[in-house]
């Protein structure tokens, strides 16, 4: 049995907040230069841009386009926050949703 299952439900939000505060106290956000250097040469292969440009990634991006077609107005502005390698942003830019 996992320890989290032993914690009463009313305590879980409080403990989540304490965990957040603890992690924030020991974790230092990376500088812009550190982030730039990392993304220019990721240490872990799963974050290389090539790992996102594959058939599985394209299926996920096409799913996003289909959701936009179904639920967004055709004249709606879309904000893509541009995290990671930018596959979704590239996919949206290269496909006509309307």
Render pLDDT for 14-45 as a digit per residue (tens, 0 to 9).
888 888 888 878 887 888 998 888 878 877 77
Q: Where are the beta strands (DSSP E) in the chain?
A: none
Domain ranges within the chain, ordered by starting residue = 3-94
Q: Which residues contact 89 (CB under 8 A, 6 or more apart)?
A: 80, 82
Render pLDDT for 54-81 as a digit per residue (tens, 0 to 9).
777 788 888 888 888 888 887 888 776 6
Tally of residues, the chain = 98
Give the pTM.
0.46
């Amino acid at each position: 049995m996992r320890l989290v299952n032993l914690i009463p439900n009313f305590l879980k939000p409080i403990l989540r907040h304490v965990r957040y505060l603890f992690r924030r106290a020991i974790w230092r956000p990376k500088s812009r230069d550190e982030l730039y250097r990392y993304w220019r040469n990721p240490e872990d292969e799963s974050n290389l841009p090539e790992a996102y440009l594959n058939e599985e990634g394209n299926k996920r991006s096409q799913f996003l386009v289909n959701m936009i077609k179904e639920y967004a107005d055709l004249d709606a502005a879309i904000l893509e926050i541009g995290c990671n390698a930018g596959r979704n942003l590239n996919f949206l830019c290269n496909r006509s949703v309307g």
